[in-house]
Structures are given as C-alpha cells and as structure tokens.
Amino acid sequence: MSKLTVAGVELRSKYILAPLAGYTSYAMRKISNEYGVGMTYTEMISSSALVYDSKKTMSMLPKKKEETPVALQLFGGDKETVLKSIEIVEKNAIYDFLDFNIGCPVPKVYKQGAGSSWLAKEDELIDLVREMVKISSKPVIAKIRLGIDSNHLNYLSVAKRLEEAGIKMLVVHGRTRKEMFQGRVHYDLIKEIKDNLTIPVIANGDIGLDNIEEVKNINVRT
C-alpha cells in the first residue's frame, strides 16, 4: 500500500478516513486504524461551542495519542472565534493536524457563515487561514468544495491561495455547495486542482469499492 507524506509526517497509507459529523468518534477512528488507514479525523467541532465552553463539544476533543495521525476539524464563521478556539484546543486536545472545514454544505452550518459559505468570501477566508497558520503549533490543512454553485466555481483560485497561505494538505469534495451530496462527483476537477498544487490533494466524495479504480485512473490521491 503506497504511502503519503504530509508536512513531513509519513502516513502509512494514502487512504484517509473522511470526517463525518456524528460518526468519526474515537471508537470509529480506532476501528479504522485497525483496517490500516493512514490518517483519521475528528467529527466537526464548533469553534463557537469551544469558546462558550460546551461540555459536549469539549468531550469530542481527542485526549490521547492515537495509532495514526489525527486531524482535529474546526468549523466556524467568525474569524476571532475561530482563532480563539485554536488556543483552546491546543491546551485541551492531542492531535497532529488542525483542519479547517470550508466544505460543509448543510443549511445550519452555511447560515452561520461557516463551512462552504467561506467560498463566497474568498479574501476573508485567506486572511483567516493565514492567521490560523501563524498561531497554530500544528500543521494546518483544509477541506473545500468546488464552489457555491455551477456559476461560481472558484475552486482553483481558492486552492492556490490556500496553499500560498500555508496549508499543508487539501481535501476536495468534488461537488458544489448547491449539489450537496447529489449527482456525479467531479473527479476531473479534483485532478485539475492536484495538477496545480504542490501539497497533497485528497479526493473526497462517494469513493468506494465500486469506483476506486476510476479514482486511481485519474491519478488523484484518495
């Protein structure tokens, strides 16, 4: 099984457990580790809930070193709150990468100005990510979608600017926010991003045993 290196950390596999709200708890991460994944993610963690000291949210933070690298995934729509939440996780969690969710399409997240809504405010996003990279003691990575809708496909601009801002890996869900989880995943556009970046690019969206060869054939990391 081929390996992948992210920010100098060699992963034992290029196959990564996708972050899933309500699913990627410690138990799920542990089971996935037993099956050989190279890296796991926490569930989406609300930056505002951390700032308001939510006991439930605090309990979601990884508290011990796990078998493979863990990415702690934050989401939030307010710059200062996101930055303050980084200080909180650095004091209260054990993780290897700090991931910023720029891809979640669900209405309750989008309406907060978080998740994929950041794709519509590109300059603000890049400004925030630069600050995240500056204050985080862990490598910052990110997850995006292709754009808000088919009329606003700014995936390549966002991806290039995120790399310039200092992120060390990019996960791309190959649909727009409007497409949610329906329709064909545009693996060809993920490949376009990969061909234009030097950091690892991870394909996300409907990847399974029935189409793994298709993903491999377009030469994207899955």
Per-residue pLDDT for the chain (222 aa), expressed as one digit of tens each?
568 999 999 999 999 999 888 999 999 999 999 999 999 999 999 999 999 999 999 999 999 999 999 999 999 999 999 999 999 999 999 999 999 999 999 999 999 999 999 999 999 999 999 999 999 999 999 999 999 999 999 999 999 999 999 999 999 999 999 999 998 899 999 999 999 999 999 999 988 778 777 777 655 444
Q: Choose among 41, 35, 36: nearest CA to 2.
A: 36
Q: What is the reported pLDDT for 217?
A: 63
For residue 222, being part of any structural domain is answered with no
For residue 61, being part of any structural domain is answered with yes
Helix then strand count (H, E) for the chain reads 9, 9
For residue 186, being part of any structural domain is answered with yes
- Vertex 180 angle, CA 30 and 54, to 5°: 50
For residue 71, being part of any structural domain is answered with yes
Q: Could you list the residue range(s) of the whole structural domain that residue 143 is in?
A: 4-217
Q: Choose among 207, 123, 216: nearest CA to 173.
A: 207
Q: What is the reported pLDDT for 70?
A: 97
Q: What is the reported pLDDT for 133?
A: 98
Using CA atoms, how far apart are residues 86 and 156, in angstroms rounded to an integer? 27
So which residues are the catalytic ones? 104
Q: What domain count does the chain have?
A: 1
Strands 97-102 and 140-144: parallel
Amino acid at 35: Y
Using CA atoms, how far apart are residues 174 and 181, in angstroms rounded to an integer? 10
Q: What is the CATH number of the domain that holds 37?
A: 3.20.20.70
Contacts by 117-123, CB closer than 8 A, 24 or more apart: 117/77, 117/177, 118/77, 119/144, 119/145, 119/147, 119/148, 119/152, 119/154, 119/158, 119/177, 120/148, 120/152, 122/154, 122/157, 122/158, 122/161
Q: Choose among 43, 38, 44, 37: nearest CA to 24.
A: 43
Q: What is the reported pLDDT for 212?
A: 76
For residue 72, being part of any structural domain is answered with yes
Amino acid at 66: E
For residue 120, being part of any structural domain is answered with yes
For residue 166, being part of any structural domain is answered with yes
